[in-house]
Amino acid sequence: MQALAGVPLPQAGTRLGPLEPLPWPVKAPGNPCYFGVARGAAGRAWRHRLGAGSEGRGGAPRPRPRSSPSPRPAPLEPSGADPQDQQSLGGSWPAGARSGVCAHGRSPAQAPRRGGRSPAPGPGLLVRVLGLRDAQGGGGEESAPGGPVPHRAAAHLALLCVKSYQESETGPESSIISKVKGITTSEHKVWDVEEYVKPPEGGSVFSIITRIEATPFQTLGTCPESIRVPNAACRSDDDCTAGELDMLGNGLRTGRCLPYYHGSAKTCEVSGWCPVEDGASVSQFLGKMAPNFTILIKNSIHYPKFQFSKGNIANRKDNYLKRCTFNEVSDLYCPIFKLGFIVEQAGENFSELAHKGGVIGVIINWDCDLDLSASACNPKYSFRRLDPKHVPASSGYNFRFAKYYKVNGTTTRTLIKAYGIRIDIIVHGQAGKFSLIPTIINLATALTSIGVGSFLCDWILLTFMNKNKVYSHKKFDKMDSLDQSAGKRVPASEPPQQDSMPTDPKGLAQL
């Protein structure tokens, strides 16, 4: 790239630092003061050196006047300029360059013409020099010509893709009814739905038992404590304190030390439900037929802001639910799922999950665009495991319950430690509908973010207002000009003989 007045021009693609001076104003993409600085013969000479051609304000070639010779650019120090600042602007300035009219921080199209009406501001609101942008605050949305415009893209994204023109409501009101059907067997009996589903009401959270450890025929009495209880092991009665109650134990200690249920160990005697769980429990597996259990999930949602309601079951009268199972393509409104399908979609192994237990989430998402028809608002189902299976201390899911009965007038119970698959049904969603207020707010924000707001305001004030000249006088500053031959000051009101340039190199360097 050619050097300008002894100062090398910056390479394309580099950023100018916040305190680095810009080259003196010549023909360059985005130059804010070009049309008021180097439009004469000297400007054409410098533009020819830069390879920019001799195009004028509108882009067409500017005819060279026959009467005016082409003076060779000569150094000329403007009046009142600091030589050091002039040096920072690129050394010598071309002859005949005098100060003109230039808007602070604006493009040439926004500068008022001499002796005429102020034009409307042009689209070039940002200062660019040779396709570069200032690193501190000049660039904003624009980069090199042809480059991306992230703020503009973000504005379009917010208005269209994110649907910022809509009023939205999150968290619909929801009701859930669930029902499980199926029969399975264990080593000793047949189990129906009344025995392996807890609780039986059918809400948004329920458990399906897949394995049990049963301790039958427990009665109130005395027996050895479980060996798993801390400080339960003993050698003699002196190791057991009478009346001591351990919160992790199974009863009140009597002060005696008794042999354990099996083996040679001894534990302290307790008064409670005997025998304790570890001494006589029997394991039974119910998961043989469990993958074929069917689960009906009936869900209804309501968005009160828009008075919109919908359910996940097809409105049909031909016993549709008795002969269908869920399929995302063909039977979306048949919410009958097999337990094996739910576990598979969650990415789990059914045998392992049935043995240790776990928690599976069924997530129903209702994202509805209410600008469309109600048929476009459909539920989306997803499944995943919710409990931390990789943490040994809390892996799996189990709970205890008991069944009571009388034997010869004595209250007896069967204690059951149940392992199973807990189903948590979670409903969420969002609905949106066109509203004028968010449309206006987001549209104004988008236009402001890409610089159109100030452009429109300036254009309206400079074009349609009766006092547009007053606004132009307040917005733009007119600076004194230099006579070409003598270098003396002339009033700004006198029509300059040649094209003008600003006399404040500091201000231009800051641009």
Spatial separation of the C-alpha atoms in residues 47 and 308, rounded to whole Å:
66
Is residue 181, in this structure, part of any structural domain at all? Answer: yes
For 324, the token pair is: 């269908």
The full length of the chain comes to 511
C-alpha dihedral, 123 to 127 to 132 to 136, nearest 10° = -130
Is the Cβ–Cβ distance between 222 and 274 less than 8 Å? yes
* CATH number of residue 405's parent domain: 2.60.490.10
Which among 143, 13, 19 has a CA at the least distance from the CA of 88? 19
Is residue 501, in this structure, part of any structural domain at all? Answer: no
Q: Which residues contact 5 (CB under 8 A, 6 or more apart)?
A: 24, 90, 91, 92, 93
Is residue 395, in this structure, part of any structural domain at all? Answer: yes
Q: Which range marks the domain in which residue 243 is found?
A: 226-275
What single DSSP character describes residue 109?
G
Instruction: Tell whether 340 and 395 lie within a shared domain.
Output: yes
C-alpha R_g of the chain:
43
> How many domains are contained in the chain?
2
Which pLDDT value is given to residue 466? 84
pTM beyond 0.85: no
Cα–Cα separations (whole angstroms), residue 384 to 251, 362, 504: 40, 7, 68
Is residue 137, in this structure, part of any structural domain at all? Answer: no
Dihedral of CA 216/220/221/225: which sign? positive
Q: Quick check: bond before 275 cis, omega within 30?
A: yes
Instruction: Tell whether 362 and 300 lie within a shared domain.
Output: yes
3-state secondary structure of 384: strand
What single DSSP character describes residue 321?
G
C-alpha dihedral, 128 to 131 to 132 to 133, nearest 10° = 30
Instruction: Tell whether 299 and 235 lie within a shared domain.
Output: no
Instruction: Tell whether 270 and 287 lie within a shared domain.
Output: no
* Residue found by looking up tokens 């509908």 in the block: 433
Q: Which residues contact 470 (CB under 8 A, 6 or more apart)?
A: none
Which pLDDT value is given to residue 481? 54
Which pLDDT value is given to residue 338? 96
Which among 108, 27, 82, 212 has a CA at the least distance from the CA of 503? 82
Q: How many CB atoms lie within 10 A of CB 284?
A: 16
Spatial separation of the C-alpha atoms in residues 481 and 484, rounded to whole Å:
9
Instruction: Tell whether 194 and 247 lie within a shared domain.
Output: no
Pairing between β-strand 197-198 and β-strand 166-170 as defined by DSSP bridges: unpaired
Instruction: Tell whether 369 and 318 lie within a shared domain.
Output: yes
Is residue 323, in this structure, part of any structural domain at all? Answer: yes
Q: Which residues contact 477 (CB under 8 A, 6 or more apart)?
A: 104
Spatial separation of the C-alpha atoms in residues 229 and 214, rounded to whole Å:
19
Adjacent-strand bridge partners of 253: 270
Task: Give the domain-ending residue among 382, 416, 433.
Answer: 433
Which pLDDT value is given to residue 299? 97
Instruction: Tell whether 347 and 203 lie within a shared domain.
Output: yes
Is residue 405, in this structure, part of any structural domain at all? Answer: yes
Instruction: Tell whether 356 and 242 lie within a shared domain.
Output: no
Spatial separation of the C-alpha atoms in residues 195 and 197, rounded to whole Å:
6
Q: Quick check: bond before 199 cis, omega within 30?
A: yes
Half-sphere exposure of 256 (CA within 13 A, CB side): 10
Dihedral of CA 418/419/423/424: which sign? positive
Which among 232, 121, 21, 217 has a CA at the least distance from the CA of 468? 121
Instruction: Tell whether 412 and 270 lie within a shared domain.
Output: no
Show pLDDT as tens, one digit a residue, over the chain (511 residues): 444 444 455 455 444 444 444 444 444 444 444 434 444 444 454 444 444 444 444 444 455 545 444 444 444 444 444 444 444 444 444 444 444 344 444 444 444 444 444 444 433 333 333 333 333 334 443 444 444 445 556 655 656 666 778 888 998 999 999 999 999 998 878 999 999 999 988 899 999 999 999 999 999 999 999 999 989 999 999 999 999 998 999 999 999 999 998 888 999 999 999 999 886 788 999 988 999 999 999 999 999 999 999 999 998 888 889 889 999 999 999 999 999 999 999 999 999 999 999 999 999 999 999 999 999 999 999 999 999 888 877 889 999 999 999 999 999 999 999 999 999 999 999 999 998 888 888 887 777 776 777 777 888 888 888 888 888 887 777 665 554 444 454 454 445 444 444 444 444 344 3
Is residue 136, in this structure, part of any structural domain at all? Answer: no
Instruction: Tell whether 241 and 336 lie within a shared domain.
Output: no
DSSP of 430-446:
EEEEE-HHHHHHHHHHH
Task: Give the domain-ending residue among 405, 433, 461.
Answer: 433
Which pLDDT value is given to residue 404? 96
Task: Give the domain-ending residue among 375, 400, 433.
Answer: 433
What single DSSP character describes residue 299?
E
Cα–Cα separations (whole angstroms), residue 407 to 61, 217, 272, 411, 412: 113, 9, 18, 7, 7
What single DSSP character describes residue 261?
S
Instruction: Tell whether 291 and 266 lie within a shared domain.
Output: no
Which pLDDT value is given to residue 393? 79
Instruction: Tell whether 302 and 405 lie within a shared domain.
Output: yes
Is residue 493, in this structure, part of any structural domain at all? Answer: no
